[in-house]
Each structure stands twice: as C-alpha cells, then as structure tokens.
A and B are shown apart, each in its own frame.
Chain A
Amino acid sequence: MAREVAALSRQERLMRSLSRGPVNVAIIAICLLWMLPSAGLLVSSFRPRNDIATTGWWTAFKTPFEFTLANYEQVLTTQGMAQSFVNSLIISVPVTVFVVMVAAFAAYAFAWMELPGRDAIFLVVVGLIVVPIQLTLIPVLRMFSSAGMTGTFPAIWLAHTAYGLPFAVFLLRNFFIALPKDLLESAFLEGASHTRVFLRIVMPLSVPSLAALAIFQFLWVWNDLLVALVYLGGFRSVAPMTVTVSNLVSSFGSEWHLLTAAAFISMMLPLAVFFALQRYFVEGILAGAVKG
C-alpha cells in the first residue's frame, strides 16, 4: 500500500515537471534568442574577411573550419584598438577611484554628520541623478576650451567624476545610513573623531558596497561614448574604445571583419568584470534602481 502511494506521488511529480515543459521551452528559447546576437559577433570576429562578407556566420561550423586571428591583429595594430584599450583604462580607472573617494566622504557627511539643510541638499542630489548630461555639454566644453583642456585626460576625468557623483553619493549614503547606529555611536562615545570612524569603521564595513559602486562606475565610464566624443574632440591618440569603434563604423560600415573584432575587444573587459563580480553588479543595480 505504502509503496503504491509512493509510486503515485512520483507520478504526480512527473506530471508536474511535464506541465512545466512549456515554461522550460519558453525560457530556453528566449535565452538562446538573447545569446544569438553576441554569438554571431563572436564567431564572426574569428572568420576570414571574405567568408564574413559573403556567407552567414552560422555557416562557419561547416567543415572545413576556417578561423583566424587576423581580424584582431589588424584592429589592434592598424586601427589603433590597442592604444584605445589603454586609453579606456587611463580614463576609467582614475575616474572610478575619484568617484568612490569623493562620494564616500560626501555620503558619510549626508548619513552621519550634522549639516545645515542636509536633507534638502540631498534631495537635490537625488534629482541630479537623472539630469541628462546633454544639459552640461556646451558650457563645460566652453570651459575646457578656454582652459585649453579639450582632448586631455584631466578634462574627461573631471567631467566623468562629476557626472558619476550624484548616483554614487546617493548609493553610498543609503548604504552608510543602514549601518548599525549603535556601532558608530559607541565609537563616538569612546571619543573617536569623525575621520577615525569614517576610515576605521564605516569604510571597512562598506567594502561590498564600495565594490558594487566601483564596478558600476567603472563600467559606466568604460562604456561611455558621448562624454568622450564631446570632450576628447575626436583625437585618436586619446580616444577610448567606444569612440574608436564608432569611428570604425562610420568609416568602414561594412568591413565586418574589423567591426566584429573591434566590438568584441571593447566588450571583453566588461564581460570579464560581469562574470567575475556579478553579485556586486546586481547588488548595485538593485540598490540604485533609480539611476537613469
């Protein structure tokens, strides 16, 4: 009797997973659909120029296999992608450090210090998060021009740092304010100064949040096109990869062996960061879902 019942419930379970069938099919289909565009790009970037121009990338899996690294070699050397990769790093890394530092100080003040009009000012910061940077391009470009800074890294560092701040301050302030109050107050009671509490308690406790912000900020700057286009003035020597790729599109719109390889090079680091640090990335997204 007991065995019979067990068998029945196993059957029930089977029925249930079968009724999930359509769900599985739908999800797997959508996932494949979602991967298809990137897969095409990746496969094509390794195909010889003539093959890309005349046949679809899905035919690459028919024998004889013909794959090559020539496209990568070409974009890295003759199209300046190697230089651009370095430029992207020179732009993104310092900006990330600046944003996290400046924002952490400000966020601590907004969370734990007494500042006249603190909450009202913070609302302005929340509002600034969504202000389109288009609103700043002309005056800032003019400032840089008159200071002779267009086309220089310091110009784009400054601009990007400022653009990243509202979201960064918002995110960190919300993380900081959620720290246990008792912990900070007992430190103050023992006579610790703000600077000490900030550096010795708040920052170490917030490493995951700081990491989330840093990843976010890094990807944001790494992936930016507009700011670089406007303030770097199209100088090839300072152009990050987004600018170079976009230039390749306008000059060699159908040279797909170049475009696919270049685009993939520009995606490699973000993808690596994403897969290695997905948890922080998602955390940042959830914590700052207001960022536009």
Chain B
Amino acid sequence: MARVHFENVTKRFGDFTALRDFNLEIEDKEFLVLVGPSGCGKSTALRMLAGLEDITEGSIYIGDRRVNGVPAKDRDIAMVFQSYALYPHMTVFDNIAFGLRLRKTPKDVLTTKVKEAAEVLGVDSLLDRKPGQLSGGQRQRVAVARAIVREPRVFLLDEPLSNLDAKLRVHTRAEISKLHKRLGTTFVYVTHDQVEAMTMADRIAVMNEGIIQQVGSPQELYDEPVNVFVAGFIGSPAMNFFEAEVVEDGGGVSLDGDGFSVDVPDDRAEEMRPFLGRRMIFGVRPENIHDEHFVPSGITAAPTTVKVDVTEPMGNEVFLHLLAGKTKLLARVDPRTKMSADDEVEVVIDMERMHVFDPESREAVRG
C-alpha cells in the first residue's frame, strides 16, 4: 500500500535513450496502466520500479522512500512476468511459498497464506504439480498467486495476459480487476493492448518512444486526447484523420479536404475561426460517421457524398471503408444499412465530435 512516484527519470542503454524525462505519480491503491506500442519503454519503466534495471537519471519513490540503488529484494514489490517466470523445478506450492520462505515466515502461517492465495486464484487443487504440468492459463494464475501471497506494497504486472488465448484473456482481465478491488494494493500494469488499458485502468499513462504522452482516466483519454498519437492509439477501430483547410462558407465555417468538404456545426464554428485559411488535422471516430438513413437523433449535420470501398458486416454493426475524395475513412454504422461496395452514398459526419490537431506540433487544439 503505497504511492509510487517517478521523478524526471531517464533511462539509457548505451547511446540509446529508452525513457526520457519520465514523470508519473501513481496514487495509493490505484490501478495504473502503462500502455503504448511495443518497444516504447513500458517494461523498462516497470523494471526500474522493480529494481531490475538501474536508473540512469532521476528518482523513483515508493511511499516516501527513494529507491534508487535499492535492490529488488528490499523494495517490497511483487511482479508478474509476461513469461510467468515460474520456477520449473518447484511445485506450485513451493513456487507460491518461495518469497515467504525467504522471509522466514513460520510454517503454519506460510501454509495458510499459500492456501489462501491459491484459493483466490483457483489453483488450490494444483498445489502438488510442477509448472510443466500446467496449462498456460493455470501457469498465469500461479504467477499471480505467487505475487499476491506476500502482500506487497506495489504490485507490478508486465503484459500478464499476452500469452493467453483471446477468450481466456477477456475472462482473466475481469478477474484481475476484481483482485485489485479485493487487495486494495497499488497496481502498475503494463500492456500494449489499449482495450486492456481501457477496461481495467483507473488511470492510463500512454507512452510512445520513451515519452509519456498523456495520463488520465480511460474516458478522458478517449474524449480528450492531447495529441494525434493518443487519439490514434486509444479506441478501436482507430480514429480517422484527415487534413483539410478551414474556409469561410457563407457565414459559417467549413472544411475543404482533398476532394470533399464538410460543414462545421455552428457551436464549433467560433472555435475554428482563428484557423481560417490554414490546413489542420481533423480526427473523427468511426462511430461518429453515420448512414444518412440511421442518424441518431440530435445530429443535424448535412450529409457528405462519399464512395463505399469495402463493407465488413459484423452482425451488430457494419464497418464501411469509405473514400471521400482521396481521404480514406472508416465508419461504424447501423447494421440495417443498405450500402454496398462501389455505391456513391450520403453519410453524416458528426463534426460536433471532431478532434482538431495542429499539423506541426500534432497537439490537440482546444477551444
């Protein structure tokens, strides 16, 4: 039970900077997810917190204690590794008990704690087996049991679900969330999968190329991404981006893209006026493009003519790959749509919910 604080942390491997000026405060009992594409430095950040990598510059605090140079064994943290890293020569019981034994826990206490942890994870019937005799899902549970049994102050998980099949992953996601509520410990969870991040996190830190892009609740990141990277990374399918010039259009404002044009609704026109005559990057999420026949109420925008390239029916919805001039857009529309490939059709782009970014800095422009 402790807060964690990264203060101006930089990590270099030789000439390569894996983490640059990393600042992050993780509250006590918080479930924080570090998310970003593979190779962006998530594991490096977690491993520095665990004491498995040196800190090149800056400080890391666990609770009030600066832990730079403190060996992993003295940090009172527990970690679940992507490969689970179970001790292959020990039974499940001994795997879970290993950390307690090292701390000279009395035998009866140890047995009780191991059994408890095993029960929580549902591996209590496997205690006599060796890791080699377990399925992937069982191994993953043992790895988690081994981590929780010591009641660490901070609980670290590095892509713990990435070796599970899709169905088990969804199930285990929920289990880990439950476990977090039950333990009331600080969780730092690393994943490259934004769905995992969105579904489990109290707060998410999005990283790219060793730099934190944005920290916030899942909804904040979804609704108010601070830059093109976060906007594109969070949300699935990903946000559509297009460049367009902001033009005056008979008292209103409209956007002139490559071969198509859309009007900006009145309540966002004011916000766009400063950019008249400039090309900006616009972002629209797929669910904000609608078949003109199935537009949810309250959306008043005028339809735009586009061409359908491919349709992908998913049952509960249909993905339309659209061509608006040279711009490719993905729309996620009502399954009753009649649109099919090569049709010239009218869609409603809900520009009220558009995101606007500066083309140079790629930062969001806020009204």
A and B touching (Cβ–Cβ under 8 A)? yes
Q: What's the minimum C-beta distance from A55 to chain B, rounded to whole angstroms?
A: 51
List the B side residues contacting A13 at CB < 8 Å.
54
List the A side residues contacting B122 at CB < 8 Å.
none
Cα A12 to Cα B67 in complex, Å, equals: 13
B8 touches A2 (CB 8 A): yes
Asked if B59 is at the interface of the complex by the 8 Å CB criterion, the answer is yes
Cα A2 to Cα B10 in complex, Å, equals: 9
Asked if B88 is at the interface of the complex by the 8 Å CB criterion, the answer is no
B54 touches A5 (CB 8 A): no
23 contacts between A and B (CB under 8 A): A1-B8, A2-B8, A2-B10, A2-B57, A2-B58, A5-B55, A5-B57, A5-B58, A5-B59, A5-B68, A6-B56, A6-B57, A8-B68, A8-B69, A9-B54, A9-B55, A9-B56, A9-B57, A9-B68, A9-B69, A12-B54, A12-B69, A13-B54
Within 51-93 of B, Cβ neighbours of A (below 8 Å) are at: 54-59, 68-69
List the B side residues contacting A8 at CB < 8 Å.
68-69
Cα A1 to Cα B57 in complex, Å, equals: 9
Give the total of A residues in contact with B, Cβ under 8 Å: 8
Contact with A along B22-58 (1 / 0, CB 8 A): 0000000000000000000000000000000011111
Within 1-41 of A, Cβ neighbours of B (below 8 Å) are at: 1-2, 5-6, 8-9, 12-13
Q: Which of A5, A6, A12 has the most CB of B within 10 A?
A: A5
* 6 closest Cβ pairs, A-B complex: A2-B57, A6-B57, A5-B57, A12-B69, A9-B54, A9-B56
Cα A1 to Cα B10 in complex, Å, equals: 13
Q: What's the minimum C-beta distance from B95 to chain A, rounded to whole angstroms?
A: 29
Q: What's the minimum C-beta distance from B59 to chain A, rounded to whole angstroms?
A: 7
Sample of 15 further A-B pairs with CB below 8 A, known A1-B8, A8-B68, A12-B69: A2-B10, A2-B57, A2-B58, A5-B55, A5-B58, A5-B59, A5-B68, A6-B56, A6-B57, A9-B55, A9-B56, A9-B57, A9-B68, A9-B69, A12-B54
Q: Which of B8, B55, B57, B68 has the most CB of A within 10 A?
A: B57
Q: What's the minimum C-beta distance from A165 to chain B, rounded to whole angstroms?
A: 35
Cα A13 to Cα B55 in complex, Å, equals: 11
List the B side residues contacting A12 at CB < 8 Å.
54, 69
Cα A2 to Cα B59 in complex, Å, equals: 9
Nearest residue (CB) in B for A4 is B57
Cα A71 to Cα B68 in complex, Å, equals: 64
Cα A2 to Cα B11 in complex, Å, equals: 12
List the A side residues contacting B58 at CB < 8 Å.
2, 5
List the A side residues contacting B10 at CB < 8 Å.
2
Cα A5 to Cα B9 in complex, Å, equals: 10
Q: What's the minimum C-beta distance from B23 to chain A, rounded to whole angstroms?
A: 13
Cα A267 to Cα B2 in complex, Å, equals: 65
List the B side residues contacting A9 at CB < 8 Å.
54-57, 68-69
Q: What's the minimum C-beta distance from B185 to chain A, rounded to whole angstroms?
A: 28
Cα A100 to Cα B339 in complex, Å, equals: 68
Cα A1 to Cα B68 in complex, Å, equals: 14
List the A side residues contacting B54 at CB < 8 Å.
9, 12-13
Q: What's the minimum C-beta distance from B220 to chain A, rounded to whole angstroms?
A: 30
List the A side residues contacting B8 at CB < 8 Å.
1-2
List the A side residues contacting B56 at CB < 8 Å.
6, 9
Nearest residue (CB) in A for B55 is A9
List the B side residues contacting A1 at CB < 8 Å.
8
Q: What's the minimum C-beta distance from A164 to chain B, rounded to whole angstroms?
A: 36
Cα A5 to Cα B68 in complex, Å, equals: 9
List the B side residues contacting A6 at CB < 8 Å.
56-57
Q: What's the minimum C-beta distance from A9 to chain B, rounded to whole angstroms?
A: 6
Q: What's the minimum C-beta distance from B87 to chain A, rounded to whole angstroms?
A: 24
List the A side residues contacting B59 at CB < 8 Å.
5
Cα A9 to Cα B56 in complex, Å, equals: 7
Q: What's the minimum C-beta distance from B325 to chain A, rounded to whole angstroms?
A: 47
List the A side residues contacting B55 at CB < 8 Å.
5, 9
Q: What's the minimum C-beta distance from B56 to chain A, rounded to whole angstroms?
A: 6
Cα A12 to Cα B54 in complex, Å, equals: 9
List the A side residues contacting B57 at CB < 8 Å.
2, 5-6, 9
Cα A6 to Cα B68 in complex, Å, equals: 11
Cα A12 to Cα B51 in complex, Å, equals: 14
Q: What's the minimum C-beta distance from B77 to chain A, rounded to whole angstroms?
A: 20
